[in-house]
Chain A
Amino acid sequence: MQLDNANVSLGDESRTPDNAIRAAGQLLINDGLAEPRYVEAMVEAFRDLGPYIVLAPGIAMPHARPEAGAIREGFAVLRLAKPVKFGHPENDPVRLVIPLVGSDDHSHIDLLKRLSRVLMDPDAVNTLLTTDDTALVTALFNDLKN
């Protein structure tokens, strides 16, 4: 699945984790990847399970169970204008929020592989953190062959 320009927002003004997750979730709704209730499920998951979704310094990947309102596999990219603390002892504050919609049968492994390939590349992450060009961001994720 490709990342569309519509799924990228650089410069969101949210100041709390809940708002940041909701703003990121809105990108999923806009692109028909998830229902509004999926977004609420992501917020609730963060409240229940804590900041484990901040997987790496500055990067949060909120997600919920597919049956909570997933429509299609995919993700979006939201960059916060100002870093927001999610409460993770090591990886705070968060700049990039990448909401995920997966599927039960693990067919989204391909999606995860692509995501990790980009996020494990320091140059790519640097681009994500500094560019104002949404096309560049989508190219980063979409240009990966296999």
Chain B
Amino acid sequence: MKIITTCGMGFGTSLMLLMELQSIGAKHGITIDGEALDISSVHGQNCDAIFGSSEIVKSLEGIAVPVVGIKNILDKAEIEAKLLELVKSTEPGKE
């Protein structure tokens, strides 16, 4: 699935989040095609979901895909839980 991670600058926390998502995805056999973008470049992007820190995604409005806010970017368990929840809700019948 295609995931965009975002933060204020597009190279710091968004990259860290993307790396975590990809490694968790690999663990579960989910291929995550991802991109890290700064918050102002996110609109109009083609993707399945957007992940970012809970504070930064508050400012996103009018996005058609699921937007997932992560409270603690260093908490693998939180990221894993939210990723799996997203996968379950967008791809019923698949794992």
Interface residues of A (CB under 8 A from B): 45, 48-57, 59, 61, 63-66, 88-91, 100, 102-104, 106, 108-109, 112-113, 115-116, 119-120
Contacts and interface: CB of A to CB of B under 8 A. Distances in A.
Interface residues of B, number: 23
Interface of B: 7-9, 11-13, 15-16, 19-20, 36, 39, 52-56, 71-76
Contacts of A54: 55
Contact of B74 (A56, A100, A113): A56
Given A49-B8, A63-B12, A106-B11, A120 B39 contact: no
- The 5 lowest CB-CB distance pairs between A and B, nearest first, are A52-B55, A56-B74, A55-B73, A49-B8, A52-B56
Contacts, number: 72
A115 B53 CA distance: 17
The main secondary structure of chain B at its interface with chain A is mixed
Nearest to A101: B12
